[in-house]
Structure 1
């Protein structure tokens, strides 16, 4: 056999092996993405649904508290507005005019 033909066959064999390994790695990556993505997607949907159910009572009670404080002319001011340590909340009483 001619040495040029043998070299050409070796090139085809190496290319085929390289392509098969590449396809296997790509297949493993795609499978991993799908296997990880579905539980994460389901978890995200469950989290959003639970958050919507939990958020309503908190929002309602916070709104009621704000209305009660407005009736008493008391406003809550966060400390970072006043330049003190962050996280402290002060009551500011408004003078009735």
Structure 2
């Protein structure tokens, strides 16, 4: 896959990026180089290779799944300008 000058200008216009003709020509060759590299990567045989998220094998730290109310209602409304019985008090917006 490759892109031409018109495609680069169109993408720049859609992205609302001001690109001169000289910059568009340079970007065309750069994008084509990147696409060529991606095409090379698609040719790599990855059969039997497990997906990984890190180069070092790690396990996620797990905690027990416990339902709790947090018991922090007073702390949460402490910075509110106005509260009543651990609820935020806000001005009425619907009449």
TM-score (norm 2): 0.31
Higher Cα Rg: structure 1 or 2? 1
Q: Which structure carries more helix by proportion?
A: 1
Higher RCO by CA contacts (8 Å cutoff, separation 6 or greater): 2
- Where is the strand percentage greater, Structure 1 or Structure 2? 1
